[in-house]
Structure 1
Amino acid sequence: MTSIPHDTPGEPDPLRALDLERLRRRTSMKWRTYPEDVLPLWVAEMDVPLAETVVRALTDALALGDTGYPAGTAYAEALAAFAAKRWNWHGIAPERTAIVPDVMLGVVEMIKLVTGAGDPVIVNPPVYPPFFQFITHMDRRVVEAPLGAGLRLDLGILEETFREATAHGGRAAYLLCSPHNPTGTVHTAEELTAVAGLAERYGVRVVVDEIHAPLVAPGVTFVPYLSVPGAERGLSLMSASKGWNLAGLKAALALAGTAAAADLARMPEEVSHGPSHLGIIAHTAALSEGIGWLDALLAGLQDNRRLLDSLLAEHLPGIRVHPAEATFLAWLDCRALGLGDDPAEVFLGRGRVALSSGLPFGTGGAGHARLNLATTPEILTEAVRRMATALT
C-alpha cells in the first residue's frame, strides 16, 4: 500500500498549548485519579486543547439543541474519505459499517457475533489490558500468542495457537491490536496478509482494534487489516477518539470485510443506540476537517519521542524504550534497574509519577511500564527527572 505523505501542519503544536496549572483543572480520569503532587503519564488521554473544527461543530450543535439520537452515515463517510486520503484505501463502504458506543464495546459485539460462550479468543501480549477483561467478562477464554522478536507478531507461534484453538472443531477469534498498544508496533502488509492466510486456513475469525490508526509517525505506513488479501471475513473497529482526544465523546465504527457483511447485519439494533450523537458530530468533524491539527500533533509527538530518548539517556540509561512507530505511548523496559516486576509502583511511590504498570498487559509485561508521551515537553522533562530520583 502506498504511503501518503502527511499534510503540512500549518497549526501550532497542540502539545505545547496548555500549562500544568490549566491541565490540573480538568476533571477526567487522568487528572483526578491521583493526588495533585503526582504527574499523571498513564491513561491514554492527551494534554491538548481540542481541534478548533471539533469545538465549532459541538458549539453549533449545542446552539441548535441538536442533542438527540444519532442517525445517518456521516461518520462512516468521513472515515472513508480520511482512509482514502491518508492510507490510499478505498475499501470502506458505509453500508458495511455500523456505529457502536466505543471501540472496546464494539469489540465485544463483534466477538459475540463470531464466537460462543467458552470459545477461545487469541491475543498478543503484552497488549492493552481491557482485552483480557472484556474477553473474560463475556464468558470467552483468553489464549495468549505472545509477541516475538522485536515485539512483532510471531507468525509461527500464531499458527501453532490457531491450530490448537481449533483442533476440536470449535469456533475461535483472534483479537488483533493494530497499531499495537503498548509497543507502538505498526504491522506490515506482509505480516497482515500472513495473518489473514492463517485465519482462513484454520477458520479463525479476526477482529481488529485499529483505534490508534491515525497516530502513525511520519514516514510510517499504516495498513488497514481489511485492505489486505484474504481479510474479507475480518471485522474492524475504528474511531477518531485517540487521534483527536475524544474519549469522553463516545462513538466508534464497526467495519465488515466484504464477506462479513452478513455477520455485521446480525448485530443487535440496540447497540447503535449507545453512541453519543454529539460524539459522532465531533468525530466526523475531526476526520473531515481536523487533519492539520492531527499533523501538528504527530510532529509534536515525534519531538517528544526524541526528547524522551535524550532524557532517559541522561538520567535513566538503564531504561530501554522500544522505538514506537505509532500511538502516543512509550513501552519502557525497566528490568535492568532492579525495581522488581512493577517499576511503575516504585516510580509512583518514590518519584510521584504515575505510569501504567506493565503487569496487566499480560506475558512480557513484568518489569515494564507504559508512559504517555502526549503531554508538554516541560511535564515530560520533569517526569523523567522525578523518575530518576526514585532510584536514589
Structure 2
Amino acid sequence: MTSPTGEPARTRGPEGPDAPANPLTRLPLDELRRRTSMKWRTYPPDVLPLWVAEMDVPVPPPVARAITDALALGDTGYPAGTVYAEALDAFARERWDWDGVVAERTAIVPDVMLGIVEVLKLVTDPGATVVVNSPVYPPFYAFVEHMDRKVAEAPLDPYGRIDFAALEITFQEAAAGGRRAAYLLCSPHNPTGTVHSRAELAAVAQLADEYGIRVVADEIHAPLVLRGARFVPYLSVPGAESGFSLMSASKAWNLAGLKAALAVAGPGAAADLARMPEEVSHGPSHLGVIAHTAGLREGGAWLDALLAGLDENRTLLADLLADELPQVRHIAPQATYLAWLDCRDLGLGDDPAARFLDRGRVALNSGTAFGTGGAGHVRINLATSPEVIKEAVRRMAASLG
C-alpha cells in the first residue's frame, strides 16, 4: 500500500480484544461542557465548539499516572535533564525510522511557537523576512510580526501542496542583498492536513541552500498522520543539516495545558542552537515534561486508537458533506485532526464561519485568519465524537435555509 504521494504507508492500528477503546467516544457532551479551557468557555453553551485545537478525549492513562505519581511525590519543581529528548528519540526511531533526535542537539522550550520565536532570533535579524506557505496556522503571522520580523507568503497550490515556483520567487526576494531570512515550514501542514513527501522536503532543502534560507519546521502534528500517509521528518532529508525542528507531544496526547516542547537542530545547526539563552529552558513546565515524556514512552497504543478514530471521522465528514453540503469542497486531510473546507460556492462571502456560528450555533475557525487563500474557507476540528460531527454538519446545512 502506498500513500497519495508515493510514500510507503504504515497501517498501524489497534486490533484485538485488549486494544484501547476509541478515546473520541469516551466522554459525553454534558461532561465535556464542564471543562474550563478555551474551547469550552469562549462561546455560549448552545454552541458546538469545533474550532481551537483541543481534543474531546480523556487524559491518556499513562499520562494521568505519571502526573499523579509526580504530585504524590511533590515533584513540582523546575525541569532538568534530557528525559524528554530521549523519549522523543525512541518514539522517532520506532514510528519514523529516524535517529536524528540527538539529545546534545536539542533544547527544551516552553512550547512550539515560543520555541520557533527563539530559534528565529538565532538565525535572523530584526526586520528580516520569514517565509510561510499560506493559508497557514494564524500564530505564524502574529508571533513573527511581534518579534519584529516580516512575513512573506508563498501560497500553496490549489491542491494544498507546496508551490515551488512561488516558493523560489519568495526566497529570492527574502534573501535579496544577502539578508538573513528564514522559512517557517508547517509539516504536516495546518490547516490543510497535507503531509509533505520526502521528495518535496528534499526540494525544500535544496532550494533553501541555494538562497541561504534557514528552515525552521513546525512538526507538532507529526504523530498525527492518518492511514495512507507517512510522516517524513524534515531533518531526515538530504541537505537539511542546517535546519531546525520544533516538536512536542502536546497535540497528539492533548497536553496543551501542560507546556513543554523541544527544539531539535540538524548537525549543521548545533552551534546556533547552543547560543539559545539558558533562561529559555525555565519556561517549560516540569509537570509538562513529565506528561509529554509519558505520552511518548507509554502512550503508543492509546495514540493508535486515537488515529483509528480520527480516520473514521475523516471518512464520516466526507460522507456527511457529500450528502448535506455538496457545494462544500475539501481534500481529505492526510494528517492532524483538522479539516479545511472550501465554502466559497455557498455564497457566504469571505467569512462563512460567521454564518455557521450565528445561525447554526457551530463554532469553526474563520479562514481569513490563515492568510492568503483563506477567504471563504473554514477549519473544523474532527477530534470529537461521530455524534458531534453529525450534529455539527446538520446545523451547518440548516443555517443556509
TM tier, shorter chain?
over 0.9
> What is aligned with 2:253?
244
> What is aligned with 1:142?
151
> What is aligned with 1:99?
108
Deviations 1:347-378 (A, max 9, x none): 00010000000001000000000000000111
> What is aligned with 2:65?
56
SS at 1:363 equivalent: coil
Give the one of 67, 76, 81 matched to 1:67: 76
**Structure 1 residue 8 and structure 2 residue 14: aligned?**
yes
1:164 is displaced (CA, Å) by 1.4
> What is aligned with 1:278?
287
Deviations 1:163-200 (A, max 9, x none): 11112111100000000000000000000000000111
Deviations 1:256-287 (A, max 9, x none): 00010000000011000000000000000000
2-side partners of 1:293 and 1:181: how far apart? 23
Say whether the 8 Å CA contact 1:2–1:88 is kept in structure 2.
Answer: no
**Identity across the alignment (%):** 70
Deviations 1:300-355 (A, max 9, x none): 00110111111111111111122110000010000000000000011000100000
> What is aligned with 1:215?
224
> What is aligned with 1:86?
95
2-side partners of 1:91 and 1:121: how far apart? 25
1:148 is displaced (CA, Å) by 1.1
C-alpha distance 363-212 of structure 1, shift in aligned 2 (>3 A): same
In structure 2, give the amino acid aligned to 1:8: P
C-alpha distance 360-47 of structure 1, shift in aligned 2 (>3 A): same
C-alpha distance 133-342 of structure 1, shift in aligned 2 (>3 A): same
Give the one of 18, 24, 29 matched to 1:20: 29
Give the one of 45, 53, 61 matched to 1:36: 45
2-side partners of 1:325 and 1:252: how far apart? 23
Root mean square deviation of aligned Cα = 1.0
In structure 2, give the amino acid aligned to 1:224: P
SS at 1:351 equivalent: coil
In structure 2, give the amino acid aligned to 1:18: L
SS at 2:159 equivalent: helix
Per mean C-alpha deviation after superposition, the further-off stretch among 178-187 and 320-329 is 320-329
> What is aligned with 1:163?
172
> What is aligned with 1:307?
316
TM-score, normalised with respect to structure 2: 0.96
> What is aligned with 2:377?
368
Say whether the 8 Å CA contact 2:259–2:288 is kept in structure 1.
Answer: yes
Q: Which aligned runs of 4 or more in structure 1 are off by greater than 3 angstroms?
A: 1-5
1:5 is displaced (CA, Å) by 4.6
2-side partners of 1:2 and 1:171: how far apart? 36
Say whether the 8 Å CA contact 2:181–2:214 is kept in structure 1.
Answer: yes
SS at 2:66 equivalent: helix
Map 1:250-289 → 2, pairs under 5 A: 250-289=259-298
1:6 is displaced (CA, Å) by 2.2
Give the one of 355, 359, 363 matched to 1:346: 355
1-side partners of 2:9 and 2:182: how far apart? 30
In structure 1, give the amino acid aligned to 2:248: S
SS at 1:181 equivalent: coil
1:2 is displaced (CA, Å) by 6.1
2-side partners of 1:289 and 1:232: how far apart? 30
1:4 is displaced (CA, Å) by 4.8
Gaps of 5+ in 2: 1-6
Say whether the 8 Å CA contact 1:211–1:241 is kept in structure 2.
Answer: yes
Give the one of 128, 141, 152 matched to 2:137: 128
**Structure 1 residue 76 and structure 2 residue 85: aligned?**
yes
TM-score, normalised with respect to structure 1: 0.99
2-side partners of 1:282 and 1:241: how far apart? 9
2-side partners of 1:147 and 1:361: how far apart? 12
Say whether the 8 Å CA contact 1:101–1:272 is kept in structure 2.
Answer: yes
Say whether the 8 Å CA contact 2:106–2:264 is kept in structure 1.
Answer: yes
Say whether the 8 Å CA contact 1:80–1:92 is kept in structure 2.
Answer: yes
SS at 1:150 equivalent: coil
Per mean C-alpha deviation after superposition, the further-off stretch among 305-314 and 364-373 is 305-314
In structure 2, give the amino acid aligned to 1:6: R
Say whether the 8 Å CA contact 1:4–1:87 is kept in structure 2.
Answer: no
> What is aligned with 1:196?
205
2-side partners of 1:35 and 1:4: how far apart? 41
> What is aligned with 1:390?
399
- How many residues align? The count is 392
> What is aligned with 1:290?
299
1:219 is displaced (CA, Å) by 2.9
1:8 is displaced (CA, Å) by 3.1
SS at 2:259 equivalent: coil
> What is aligned with 2:3?
none
2-side partners of 1:277 and 1:341: how far apart? 42
Say whether the 8 Å CA contact 1:4–1:85 is kept in structure 2.
Answer: no
